[in-house]
Amino acid sequence: MRLRTNFLAERDFNLFLLAGLFSGVGAGINVSIFNNYLSDIFKLSEDIRGFLEVPREAPGFFIMLILAALSSFGDVRIAMLGMTAAGLGMLGLGILSPTFAFMIIWMMMYSLGTHMTMPVTPSIGMSLSNQQSFGARLGTVSAFGLSGSILAYIYIFVGFNFMHMTYQTAFITGTVFYWLAAFAVGIMKKGGTEARQVKFVFRKRYWLYYILAVVSGARNQIFLTFAPWVLIKVFDVKPQMFAILGMVVAVISIGSRKLIGKLIDSRGERFVLSWEAVLLLAICLGYAFSDRIFSAGIAVVIIAGCYVIDNSMAAVEMARSTYVRKIAIDLADVTPTLSTGVSLQHIASMVIPIFGGLLWLQVGYQAVFMAAAVIALLNLVLSLKIKIAA
């Protein structure tokens, strides 16, 4: 009875956490297997893998316009549609991709769904919080998503290691969990269910956020595209090993996301984003030089460690979201401004992998991460410019 009372006291926030748990399972499955799926089924080269990011990230580039068109739905219904689309994309990848062209269509559907949820997730979470606890509450939401990812990683490790699981089965499982997440969000009553009147926002006041979004998108896309590809192509890492790395990331991140949330509340966005940039610079150098300095056995451990640390820092994105909320002229600006940021991120996300893949072929993967180090340094300079009026 007490458990039921506690749940009902914050019914919508708890439903949002449950949706985060379910979608975390779906996302965790995709993260664990997608790059191996591309390598094993379609035998992609480095340059084609880089070019594939253009259609994969295209929905993110257009998300500002998509969310503007859907603004009358409200944030909760947009999240529900996004999770439904992500599940449909995984279903297509699993059973409706007989050719490379069909795979691209379903990959884009999955990407559309996940990108629809990106800007509305922090907005919903903050609408169910007060300003003094934005960071902590978003940290809790992130922790539930990671708990779902841990379940996914265990599932993939056991399935591929002991049960001869196929990519098809894994993708179908992801579909089921995304659709459960959509149902949980769909029965919420608060958290941005009302339609937004502001459909498009691009203000001078938010210029630093926009630039940070572009720089962050460039750096993130290098790691998203090429960090797992290094482990697969250079060190022959299999899905079950990515599941293990994912479990390590998730366990670390459950604590780190809550810590990052508390640091946002206590030390501010400038502190958090600046230290992120410093750490990312070190990670880039680890990727670039480990194989040149150490033996292959030691290098793969170092690079895997860099992979874990980088992925454990994903929650720092919360700081960019809370920064927008704190400087917003109008609360109605928050979701459309975040969606604008997502779209701007994808300008870099669609271009960087093309040059990264060509650079890998011509010079080597180390050069790709040296370029990422330069971007991380630029990120540090920009982060130090953050100021929030009391």
Measured CA to CA, the distance from residue 207 to residue 287 in angstroms comes to 31
Q: Which residue type is seen at 163?
A: M
pTM for the complete prediction? 0.80
Predicted pLDDT of residue 9: 46
Measured CA to CA, the distance from residue 158 to residue 385 in angstroms comes to 47
Instruction: For residue range 91-115, list pLDDT tens digits in order.
Output: 999 999 999 999 999 999 999 999 8
Measured CA to CA, the distance from residue 377 to residue 298 in angstroms comes to 27
Predicted pLDDT of residue 192: 54
Q: Which residue type is seen at 363?
A: V
Torsion angle in degrees (nearest 10) through CA of 99, 102, 106, 111: 90
Counting Cβ atoms within 10 Å, is residue 174 exposed (0-12), middle (13-18) or buried (19+)?
Answer: buried
| In-domain check, residue 308 | yes
The helix/strand/coil state of 141 is helix
Decide if 13 contacts 21 (C-beta within 8 A). no
Measured CA to CA, the distance from residue 255 to residue 144 in angstroms comes to 11
Torsion angle in degrees (nearest 10) through CA of 208, 276, 230, 31: -80
User: Is the backbone of residue 364 left (phi > 0), alpha (psi -120 to 50) or beta?
Assistant: left
Measured CA to CA, the distance from residue 228 to residue 232 in angstroms comes to 6
| In-domain check, residue 389 | no
Proportion of the chain in helix, strand, coil states, percent, rounded to 5: 85, 0, 15
Q: Which residue type is seen at 46?
A: E
Measured CA to CA, the distance from residue 123 to residue 119 in angstroms comes to 7
Nearest to 13 by CA among 129, 106, 93: 129
| In-domain check, residue 169 | yes
Looking up residue 191, the CATH number of its domain turns out to be 1.20.1250.20
CA distances (Å), 346 to each of 56, 260, 352, in order?
10, 25, 10
Decide if 16 contacts 181 (C-beta within 8 A). no
Give Cα 6 to chain centroid, integer Å: 30
Predicted pLDDT of residue 27: 96
| In-domain check, residue 359 | yes
The helix/strand/coil state of 191 is coil
Nearest to 76 by CA among 197, 200, 202, 183: 183
Measured CA to CA, the distance from residue 126 to residue 261 in angstroms comes to 12
For residue 358, what are the domain limits? Answer: 2-383
Counting Cβ atoms within 10 Å, is residue 189 exposed (0-12), middle (13-18) or buried (19+)?
Answer: exposed
Q: Tokens standing for 177?
A: 């969990």
| In-domain check, residue 232 | yes
Report residues of the chain scoring pLDDT below 70.
1-9, 130-135, 190-201, 389-390
Q: Tokens standing for 193?
A: 């269910």
Measured CA to CA, the distance from residue 310 to residue 160 in angstroms comes to 25
| In-domain check, residue 236 | yes
| In-domain check, residue 198 | yes
User: What is the per-residue burial (b if ≥16 Cβ within 10 Å, else e) of 49-86?
Assistant: bbbbbbebbbbbbbbbebbbebbebbbbbbbbbbbbbb
Nearest to 287 by CA among 259, 309, 307: 307
DSSP state of 10: T
| In-domain check, residue 388 | no
User: What is the per-residue burial (b if ≥16 Cβ within 10 Å, else e) of 277-315?
Assistant: bebbbebbbbbbebbeeeeeeebbebbbebbbbbbbbbb
Instruction: For residue range 212-230, list pLDDT tens digits in order.
Output: 988 888 888 888 899 999 9
Domains of the chain: total:
1
